[in-house]
Amino acid sequence: MNLLTRVDKATGKTTSVQIKGTLAPLQIQVMKRQGRVTTVVTGFAAYGFEGKELSDTLAKRMKTNCFVVAAAESRTGSLEVCLLGDWVAKRTGDHHLPSFFVECGLDKSMISVESRTKK
């Protein structure tokens, strides 16, 4: 059993989460929905993030619309956070979504990034 401790830089709040066994990676997917490119984050609850808090923090940091919805492919009622636009490709610094989660205390090995858009 491992203990993951992360610090929310916006509020200074420290969160500790006990990880039992293997944990699925946090998934960041860039896809087209209804003709628009969106970035979808799933699996964040296992790492101690709450949907509404994460959505509000990302909306302020990325300066874009961000919302929480029930995951379409899940039967367990899990949530996903959706951001308008591609926040993975060609982004650096504060506007690069994977680096936000690394700053919160996650390793790069805990984050899975996938793009489903056709170029």
When pLDDT is averaged across residues 7-19 and rounded to a whole number, the result is 74
- Cα 111 to Cα 11, 83, 85, 93, 99: the distances in Å are 23, 17, 19, 17, 10
pLDDT, greater one: 28 or 18: 28
Is pTM beyond 0.85 here? no
Q: Which domains does the chain have, with CATH numbers?
A: 23-115 (3.30.780.10)
Q: Coil, helix or strand for 6?
A: strand
pLDDT digits (tens, 9 = 90+) for 78-106: 899 999 988 888 777 667 888 888 888 88
Does the structure show a pLDDT above 60 at 119?
no
